[in-house]
Structure formats: structure tokens, C-alpha cells
């Protein structure tokens, strides 16, 4: 992971293989934080590292367009 961390704003959509599509309730300003994410009306607290390295890329790859 780069030292140049990009801030992730609240309401960013993510995708979890087990829980489906969700969105962040709070922003992420550091990789060592824990962040609240809503999946199907249930709030989960997840390490920012998992969101940035797994859940966000899952969502982006599922919703990317191939041209």
C-alpha cells in the first residue's frame, strides 16, 4: 500500500462476496481505522484496510465498463 493514502468519502459503495453491496457510513482518512459499513440495513464495523484492499476493488471491478 502506498504512503500516499487517498481519502475515501462517506457513502462510497463497496461489494462483499458474503453480504452483497453496501456503502460506507463514515469516511476513511487512514488505513488503520475501523469504518462503519451498511449491508442490507445492518451496520458492520470493518477495518479500513479490508475496505480499501478488497471491498472497494470488488465493487469497482463489478461495475466497470469494458469498451
pTM of the model: 0.83
6 assigned to some structural domain: no
- All three cell numbers of 36, joined, read 462503519
Q: Mean pLDDT, to the nearest integer, of 4-13?
A: 89
Q: pLDDT at residue 22 above 80? A: yes
Element (H, E) at 50: helix 48-50
For 48-60, the pLDDT digits (tens) are 999 999 999 999 9
Note whether residue 49 is domain-resident.
yes
Rounded Cα–Cα distance for residues 32 and 46 (Å): 11
Residue 35: give the domain boundaries. Answer: 13-62
Q: Say if CB 47 and CB 28 are below 8 A apart.
A: no
Q: Residue 7 falls within a domain, yes or no?
A: no
Amino acid at each position: 500500500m502506498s504512503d500516499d493514502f487517498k481519502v475515501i468519502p462517506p457513502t462510497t459503495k463497496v461489494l462483499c462476496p458474503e453480504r452483497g453491496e453496501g456503502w460506507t457510513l463514515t469516511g476513511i482518512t487512514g488505513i488503520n481505522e475501523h469504518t462503519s459499513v451498511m449491508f442490507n440495513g445492518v451496520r458492520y464495523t470493518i477495518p479500513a484496510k479490508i475496505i480499501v484492499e478488497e471491498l472497494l476493488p470488488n465493487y469497482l471491478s463489478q461495475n466497470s465498463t469494458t469498451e
